[in-house]
């Protein structure tokens, strides 16, 4: 090879090599960011599970209390391809746990009705929730906004998430996930999105990138999820739920648009651009980390000092009827 040819090849290869190194550095930086996010949070548990007093607060690495609604970032990497997901209800469990909108720092607690703790009933062939169920932080389904595709207003909650990986989570766990698609439940006249995601550390994560991949690698799961949401209230004497889009699960692109819309709605709420209390909703907005929020508090604030210390206890016993298995007869499985 002549000297001039060598220079020519060098000129061709160097940009390619530099580009590859830059991409590798970006991947490593993103992976480092995600890895640090995974270990950033722990739980502060108050009281015993299956009691009215049970609360699960989130703490950062310094032991400071943070809100799972407001402080945990929605996106776990700069590219916004990996999202943080807060587990409220681990798979196969029945207690209807949710991020509180009515208490400061929004602990996870068990929902109630008429003063009684709520449990999801078992109905054949499922035991409790069939996924790790929870919410995306920093999202809000605005109850004053009617979505053009569903013709129904939001349900006033953080965006619901179904994580379909093989590992059972725990209450308050912050998982890193990628979005695969979404269903649109119409729950008592409100839009209630159910975003389908996969833990990025799941063995199948590399094969699941869109909603059609779910049916390919986990056949029956989407149909089962549809049936679960449709019928799960029937054992409690309520009618079956309905869906927008005839129950069709929309793809990842559409789902990510919904996530972004709900993130923007939350941003308006937490920044004070819209009120946190109206005749239609009342949301606690105290937070530790949202810099542009007028509701950010310090550790010297009375709201922060009012958060109880860890006092975790063993689970309380539950009524044996919670374990009853109902047979509805409708699911086509």
Summarize pLDDT for 266-283 with one digit per residue, the tens: 999 999 999 999 999 999
Asked if the structure places residue 331 within a domain, the reply is: no
Helix-strand-coil split of the chain, %, nearest 5: 25, 25, 50
Residue 23 belongs to some domain of the structure: yes
Q: Are 156 and 183 within one domain?
A: yes
If one counts the domains in the chain, the total is 2
75 and 34 in a single domain? The answer is: no
Residue 271 lies in a domain: yes
Q: Which stretches of the chain drop beneath a pLDDT of 50?
A: 6-33, 331, 333
- Residue 146 forms part of a structural domain: yes
Residue 333 lies in a domain: no
My answer on whether 90 and 185 are in the same domain is yes
Report which secondary-structure segment, H or E, holds 24: helix 3-38
Residue 3 sits in the same domain as residue 85 = no
User: Residues 242, 184: one domain?
Assistant: yes
Beta bridge partners of 196: 162, 181
Give a yes or no: residue 170 inside a domain: yes
Cβ atoms of residues 79 and 30 within 8 Å:
yes
CATH value at residue 155: 3.90.80.10
133 and 140 Cβ atoms separated by less than 8 Å? no
Going by their DSSP bridges, the two strands 108-110 and 97-99 should be labelled as: antiparallel
CA 326 from centre of chain? 28
If asked whether residues 127 and 249 sit together in one domain, one would say: yes
Q: Which long-range contacts (CB under 8 A, 24 or more apart) does 265-273 make?
A: 265/139, 265/140, 265/141, 265/142, 265/145, 265/154, 266/70, 266/138, 266/139, 266/140, 266/158, 267/138, 269/140, 270/70, 270/138, 270/295
Predicted pLDDT at 37 = 57
User: 183 and 150: one domain?
Assistant: yes
Phi, psi of 193 (to 5 degrees): -65, 140
- In angstroms, the Cα distances linking 62 to 2, 35, 66, 160, 307 are 61, 17, 11, 28, 16
As a residue count, the chain comes to 333
Q: What is the pLDDT, as a whole number, of residue 35?
A: 52
Looking at the fold, whether 23 and 157 belong to one and the same domain comes out as no
Q: Are residues 238 and 146 in the same domain?
A: yes
Per residue in 202-236, pLDDT (tens digit) is 999 999 999 999 999 999 999 999 999 999 999 99
Note the pLDDT of residue 212. Answer: 98
Both structure tokens of 45: 């548990």
Residue of 262, 210, 200 lying closest to 33 (CA atoms): 200
- Is 332 within the bounds of a domain? no
Residues 3 and 106 in one domain: no
Task: Establish if 72 belongs to a structural domain.
Answer: yes
Residue span of the structural domain in which 76 resides: 43-326
154 in the same domain as 64: yes
333 by DSSP, 3-state: which?
coil
Judgement on whether residues 1 and 71 belong to the same structural domain of the protein: no
pLDDT of residue 188: 87
Which strand (E) or helix (H) includes residue 231?
Answer: helix 221-231
């Amino acid at each position: 090879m002549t000297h001039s040819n060598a220079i020519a090849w060098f000129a061709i290869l160097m940009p390619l090599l530099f580009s590859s190194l830059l991409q590798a550095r970006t991947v490593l930086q993103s992976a480092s960011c995600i890895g640090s996010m995974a270990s950033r949070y722990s739980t502060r548990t108050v009281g015993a599970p299956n009691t009215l007093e049970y609360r699960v607060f989130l703490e950062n690495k310094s032991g400071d209390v943070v809100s799972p609604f407001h402080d945990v970032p929605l996106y776990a990497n700069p590219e916004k391809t990996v999202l943080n997901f807060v587990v409220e209800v681990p798979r196969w469990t029945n207690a209807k746990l949710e991020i509180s909108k009515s208490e400061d720092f929004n602990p996870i607690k068990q929902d109630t009705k008429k003063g009684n703790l709520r449990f999801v009933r078992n109905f054949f062939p499922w035991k409790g929730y069939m996924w790790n169920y929870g919410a995306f932080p920093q999202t809000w389904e605005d109850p004053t906004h009617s979505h053009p595709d569903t013709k129904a207003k939001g349900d006033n909650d953080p965006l619901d998430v179904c994580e379909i990986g093989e590992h059972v989570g725990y209450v308050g766990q912050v998982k890193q996930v990628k979005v695969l698609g979404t269903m649109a439940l119409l729950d008592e006249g409100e839009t209630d999105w159910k975003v389908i995601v996969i833990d990025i550390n799941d063995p199948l994560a590399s094969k699941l990138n869109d909603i059609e991949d779910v049916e390919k690698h986990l056949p029956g799961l989407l149909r089962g999820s549809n049936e679960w949401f449709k019928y799960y209230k029937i054992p409690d004497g309520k009618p079956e739920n309905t869906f927008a889009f005839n129950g069709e699960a929309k793809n990842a692109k559409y789902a990510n648009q919904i996530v972004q819309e709900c993130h923007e709605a939350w941003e308006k709420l937490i920044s004070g651009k819209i009120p946190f209390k109206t005749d239609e909703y009342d949301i606690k907005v105290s937070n530790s980390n949202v810099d542009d929020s007028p509701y950010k508090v310090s550790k010297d604030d009375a709201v922060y000092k009012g958060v109880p210390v860890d006092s975790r206890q063993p689970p309380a016993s539950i009524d044996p009827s919670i374990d009853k298995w109902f047979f509805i007869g409708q699911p086509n499985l």
